[in-house]
Amino acid sequence: MSRPVDLHRLTWGEKGPLVVLVHGLTGRASLWGDVARRLAAAGYRVVAPDLRGHGASPRAASYTLAEHTADLIALLEATGPAHLVGHSLGAALAWRVAAGRPDLVQRLVLEDQHPNAAPSGWQGWRDWAAAWPDAFASEEEGLEFLRHSGRTADWWRPSLQALPDGTWGWAMDKTAVVETARSLCETEGWADLSRLRCPTLIIRGADSPHLKAEVAERMAATIPGARLVTVPGRDHWVHREAGPYTALLTEFFGA
CA distance 211 to 203: 10
Mean pLDDT of 94-105: 98
**Rounded Cα distance, 22 and 89, in Å:** 8
> What CATH number is given to the structural domain containing 226?
3.40.50.1820
Residues 187-242 have pLDDT tens digits of: 999 999 999 999 999 999 999 999 999 999 999 999 999 999 999 999 999 999 99
Banded model confidence at residue 156, pLDDT cuts 50, 70, 90: confident
Kindly tell me if the per-residue pLDDT of 1 is higher than 80. Answer: no
178 located within any domain: yes
In a domain, 153, yes or no: no
Residue 236 structural domain? 9-126+174-253
Whether 17 is covered by a domain: the verdict is yes
In a domain, 159, yes or no: no
pLDDT tens, position by position, 24-36: 999 999 999 999 9
Residue 255 reports pLDDT greater than 90: no
Number of domains composing the chain: 1
Q: Is 150 contained in some domain?
A: no
**3-state SS string over the chain?**
CCCCCCCCEEEECCCCCEEEEECCCCCCHHHHHHHHHHHHHCCCEEEEECCCCECCCCCCCCCCHHHHHHHHHHHHHHHCCEEEEEECHHHHHHHHHHHHCHHHEEEEEEECCCCCCCCCCHHHHHHHHHHCCCEECCHHHHHHHHHHCCCCHHHHHHHEEECCCCCEEECECHHHHHHHHHHHHCCCCHHHHHHCCCCEEEEEECCCCCCCHHHHHHHHHHCCCCEEEEECCCCCCHHHCHHHHHHHHHHHHCC
Question: For residue 244, is it within any domain?
Answer: yes
Label residue 63 by pLDDT band (50, 70, 90). very high
Residue 245 in this model has a pLDDT that exceeds 90: yes
- Does pTM surpass 0.85? yes
* Position 131 in a domain: no
pLDDT(243) > 90 = yes
Q: Please check whether residue 97 lies inside any domain of the structure.
A: yes
